[in-house]
Amino acid sequence: MYQFSSDHKCIIQLKDFLLKMCHDKYVIGELRLLLGEEGQNVGLLVSQRVLKRPPQVLPPIYDGLFDEISWATEDEPTEELRNSFCFKYYILVSKIYKLKNENSKKRSSGSTDEEIIYIKQEDEIFHQLSLWSFIFPLHIHQVTTHELRNYRLMGLVMAIEADKIPSFRQQLKSFIDESLNP
Q: What is the pLDDT of residues 115-164, one digit of tens each?
A: 999 999 899 999 999 999 999 999 876 667 888 888 899 999 999 999 99
What is the share, in percent, of the chain residues with pLDDT greater than 70? Answer: 87
Task: Report pTM.
Answer: 0.86
Mean pLDDT on 104-113 = 47
Q: What is the pLDDT of residue 102?
A: 56
Q: What is the pLDDT of residue 108?
A: 43
Q: What is the pLDDT of residue 103?
A: 55
Q: What is the pLDDT of residue 109?
A: 45
Q: Which residues of 90-99 are buried (b: 16+ CB within 10 A; e: fewer)?
A: bbbbbbbbbb
pLDDT mean across residues, the chain: 87
What is the share, in percent, of the chain residues with pLDDT greater than 90? Answer: 63
Q: In this structure, are residues 51 and 176 in contact, taking their beta carbons and an 8 Å threshold? A: no
Q: What is the pLDDT of residue 83?
A: 92
pLDDT tens per residue, range 52-107: 788 899 999 999 999 999 999 999 999 999 999 999 999 999 999 999 875 544 44
On the question of pLDDT at 46 being above 90, the answer is: no
Closest to 154 measured CA to CA, from 114, 119, 108: 119
